[in-house]
């Protein structure tokens, strides 16, 4: 997933369309279970900057936050980013200015803009905080660990389920 900068620079101000379809495990160690990534975006060059605007859809394997079962999660997001093109490589003279520049902007030097790391971060940031396999997931029993979506457990849910640390409190209130 790269953009060859001389192609964009030669069409100053014009927009070039790009499309990628890849398997996630071919590019990223963060997704060993695999998954598919589809990206469509356009890129344009103007005044030393490359503007990228588009969207992606990723199908990844996630773990449900309630029942801990893996499921296929589809993530969709739009993105819009500006990359600043620099003409100089790493040099001691420019190291301070490059550090300041990199802290505030995405910087690229050379003839190729590699998008793998940028896209990896987009995918990670678009993941749900607590993914659910389905909206009405019942989760697992906190006592025996039974998946409550598959079957019900035989644990008693009444007063017998009192935390041992609170038994003295129960004795105190039942004695009054």
Sequential pLDDT tens for the chain (176 residues): 888 888 888 887 789 999 999 888 887 777 777 789 999 999 998 888 888 999 999 998 889 999 999 999 999 999 998 888 887 655 555 556 655 655 566 777 778 888 888 888 888 888 889 999 999 999 998 878 888 889 888 876 655 667 778 888 888 887 76
Note if the pTM is more than 0.75: no
Q: Taking a C-beta distance cutoff of 8 angstroms, is the pair 130, 23 a contact?
A: no
Closest CA to 86 of 73, 75, 71, 97: 97
């Amino acid at each position: 997933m790269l953009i060859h900068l001389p192609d964009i620079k030669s069409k100053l101000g014009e927009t070039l369309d790009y499309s990628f379809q890849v398997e996630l495990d071919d590019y990223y160690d963060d997704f060993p279970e695999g998954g598919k990534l589809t990206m469509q975006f356009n890129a344009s060059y103007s005044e030393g900057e490359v503007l990228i605007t588009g969207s992606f859809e990723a199908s990844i394997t996630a773990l449900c936050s309630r029942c801990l079962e893996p499921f296929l999660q589809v993530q969709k997001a739009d993105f819009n980013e500006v990359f600043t093109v620099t003409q100089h490589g790493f040099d001691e003279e420019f190291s301070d200015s490059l550090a300041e520049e990199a802290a505030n902007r995405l910087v690229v030097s050379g003839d190729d803009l590699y998008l793998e790391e940028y896209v990896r971060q987009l995918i990670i940031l678009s993941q749900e905080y607590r993914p659910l396999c389905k909206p009405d997931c019942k989760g697992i029993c906190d006592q025996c660990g039974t998946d409550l979506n598959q079957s019900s457990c035989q644990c008693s849910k009444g007063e017998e389920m009192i935390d041992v640390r609170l038994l003295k409190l129960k004795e105190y209130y039942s004695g009054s």
